[in-house]
Amino acid sequence: MEQLTQEQLDGAGKVIAVHLNYPSRAAQRGRTPEVPSYFLKPATSLALSGADLERPQGVELLTVEGEVALVMGARARRVSPDEAWRYVAAVTAANDAGLADLRWPDKGSNLRSKGADGIAPIGPQLLPAQELDPAALRVRMWINGELVQEDSTGTLLFPFAQLVADLSRLMTLEPGDIILTGTPAGATVARPGDVVEVEVDGTASDGSLLSTGRLSNRVVESQALEPYGAMPKLTDADRIDAWGSAEAAGLAPAAQPDSRPASVLTPALTEKLRSVGTATLSVQLRKRGMQNCHIEGLIPTKPGAKVVGTARTLRYIPAREDLFKTHGGGYNAQKRAVDSLRPGDILVMDARGEKGSGTLGDVLALRAQVLGAAAIITDGGIRDFGPVSGMDIPAWGANAHPAVLGRKHVPWAVDETVACGGAAVQPGDVIVGDEDGLVVIPPQLVEEVADDAVKQEREEAWVAQRVAEGNPVDGLFPMNAEWRAKYEAETSGAAVVRP
């Protein structure tokens, strides 16, 4: 190990930072990138441990993000992922801090928000990269001694070797170039007077623990920005993004009455519905004049799953560029619908039967599972079909499809009457699914349908036993008066002479 020096910082070339690379952070942001994306930082943004971390007067949000920094040791151009790690000389800790108030004018480049002098301290020790497993490093961050971030590079969306190989396809990475590899969940805001510390450690090839030591920097207030260009500007969405949640940002909304539809399901009623098949329920609905109560044409991620739950709904409209711009990003209807799920809810998505794009992916399916939802149903495509199939929560969809939502859909409305798989579904309807399919039961009919379905299956079990004994089905299925009398006598406990 060696101490990072100012001379080494002065000799740094490019500083390249990854936007999103940890699943924990992607889950916070509500999106998982398919490929890595980057932004450039000037070398003058680097600083050593012990340097002040400046927040100009008039700036509200200084964000802090603990990261692993890679220091290139050899010239890399068009290297493969298999050989890329050999070009990395050292690993160290980094704090990719930023001025969130100045992010708005640079449209994702982060030039001013993350390019200020000294805003990206790194160090203090350089760890020899070739003695470390790049997939077994730990990164942690503390503010005033309180741990706020901890994650492992074993969870990365894009491993370090992939980053080096990807960047080297188009640009030459030179010795001294630095790659900041992304931050996990827990990135937050620091104020003047706070001490921010970051540490990276890992086990060396000889079994010893190597640590960068704590990169420590105190936040101070500096002079105000001169009004020669963009000035600090924030929205509440920026504050929530910087702090990590509305509650942390002091923006948690006052408690509102729960407008979500109430469920008619009780534990006892749920068990009754679980005990009968959808084929039986379909018969009982038909007896009540309900012919169009089947969600059709969908494939399950977990064949054979049995689900009972209360319908919540999400409606998509056809993709249109201007509408997706206003309704597709941020905390859109899709995310709101998933975040509002309760235990036992089934989210039913109206995608108009359009199969050419995903309407559900692994992150939102995981969120629904964590919230206790019973299932998700969509008549559109499912992205990440493999990972979604591996989850405990069952889902039904039209097909697997890799395209993102915006190709065909705009998320539009939550808890309205929708159409899914040819069936009308209202919030509060009861959905039952099994290997035969999915049925929709109006809440006012659920109890009587369940009771009669239990009776029907009891009768059919008795009939099946009689057939197994060799009786013909004529007059037995359905039962004529003679067989009905025998059934009622036997099931009531009276003796009966079999024919």
Where along the chain do its domains lie?
Answer: 2-243, 296-441
Under 8 Å CB-to-CB from 126, ≥6 apart: which residues? 1, 2, 3, 4, 71, 89, 90, 91, 92, 212
The CATH superfamily assigned to 296-441 is Ribonuclease E inhibitor RraA/RraA-like (3.50.30.40)
Question: Is this model's pTM higher than 0.85 or not?
Answer: no
Task: List, run by run, the mean pLDDT of 10-residue segments along the chain (499 residues).
Answer: 90 94 86 91 96 96 97 97 97 97 87 95 97 96 96 95 97 97 95 97 91 97 92 89 84 64 92 95 95 95 95 96 85 91 96 95 94 96 95 96 93 95 96 96 96 93 92 90 88 51
DSSP H helices in 390-445: none
Tell me the fold of 2-243.
Fumarylacetoacetate hydrolase; domain 2 (3.90.850)
Q: How far apart are CA 137 and CA 300, in angstroms?
A: 38
Neighbours of 211 (CB within 10 A): 14
Taking the mean position of all CA atoms in its chain, how far away is CA 264? 29
* Length of the chain (residues): 499
Q: Which residues of 230-253 are buried (b: 16+ CB within 10 A; e: fewer)?
A: eebebeeebbbbbbbeeeebeeee
- Which residue, among 127, 111, 124, 140, has the nearest Cα to 44 in the 3D structure? 111
Is the separation of the CB atoms in 68 and 200 below 8 Å? yes
Residue 495's pLDDT is: 40
Strands (E), 338-403: 345-350, 358-360, 375-378, 381-382, 395-397, 399-400
